[in-house]
Amino acid sequence: MGHSLGCVLLTGSTGYIASHTWLALEAAGRQVVGVDSLVNSSAVVLDRLVSLSGGQPKHFIKGDVRDAQVLDACFDLAAKQGRPITAVIHFAALKAVGESVEKPLEYFDNNIGGLISVCRAMERHGARTLVFSSSATVYGQPERLPITEDAALRATNPYGQTKLIGEELLRELERSDPRWRIGWLRYFNPVGAHPSGQIGEDPRGIPNNLMPYVAQVAVGKRTHLNVFGQDYDTPDGTGVRDYIHVCDLAEGHVAALRYLDEQQRSLTVNLGTGQGYSVVDVAQAYERASGKAIPLVYAPRRAGDVAACYADPTLAETLMGWKARRGLDDMCADSWRWQSLNPQGFEG
């Protein structure tokens, strides 16, 4: 079956999750064309991907997905290789919650504009299978835990709104033309890195999530970890989140694509572990993985933070046969390997 399937276009392909997904797709026998503007990622990723796949060349076009010519060039490149693009995994988006509050126009333009541009290109080239990077932020403040896919949807910041509007836009598209096959994947908190330590999360500027902060303390870039809030209604008073290893997440995309191809129907699933870990849990696991102390400094709660948020991932297993296999110790060990081998990230 592998060879009857067309090429996959990965947008945002040199980013954190997409780069791991590129390897997972190739491991599953899929051909890939990548496109990325490189505004939030590094071209070094491509070299690393080539070496991780035994020197296999990577088909990549640098450009912004809002540019129709760039997307047409991607479809043309694949067609010339004799394996037309039949599916797209759409990762390209800005994703910093805080920045989205300061720059809502940029976020809507990039995230919604990019999605519309991608769907138009797909229609031009007759490809109607799309896997969409959504987010647990579409659940807002969860009413009950664990979160199931039928929970109420609401966004509490512009970034979350772009994901919610993106989901809605795709539902309307599918209603208007039933030939579309769409996978809505709601990610929880991706962490960790490829076990080789060659690719991982390389945040530009100030990180937006916990694990890179913890890693930077372990590697000596920061003196301590700020913990926002120690009076939440959780076992140790600190915020609880569902962390998922980026390699499990990457395999979830391959499973979603397989489902869309084989079942010929759309799906909406959470990608998480179903297990919540507190900030203290993560810091302690990182100490075990790195052998370094992670001093904690407690600070007041941040506005808009929820006490706990974790997935019910049952549906993904039922529909796609996928479940997260890597635990918190794996996440921290792989994150530490990446961080210690690349203390300055890809540009180091």
Question: Who contacts 156 (Cβ-Cβ below 8 Å, separation ≥6)?
Answer: 137, 140, 141, 304
C-alpha triplet 289, 291, 295: angle, nearest 5°: 100
> Could you tell me the sign of the dihedral formed by the alpha carbons of 208, 213, 216, 222, in that order?
positive
Total Cβ atoms within 10 A of residue 313? 27
**H-assigned helices in 219-269:** 246-263
Instruction: Establish whether the linkage from the previous residue to 142 is cis, with ω within 30° of 0.
Output: no
Give the separation between CA 44 and CA 49, rounded to whole angstroms: 9
Task: Tell me which DSSP letter residue 14 carries.
Answer: T
Active site residues: 159
Among residues 58, 44, 45, 70, the alpha carbon closest in space to that of 7 is found at: 58
- Tokens of residue 95, six digits: 């994703």
**What CA dihedral angle connects 151, 152, 156 and 162, to 10 degrees?**
90
Helix 279-290 vs helix 210-218: crossing angle, to nearest 10: 40
Tell me the residue type at 307: A
Beta strands in 37-157 (DSSP E): 59-62, 85-90, 129-135
Q: Are 81 and 7 in contact (CB under 8 A)?
A: yes
- Tokens of residue 21, six digits: 């997904």
SS3 145: coil
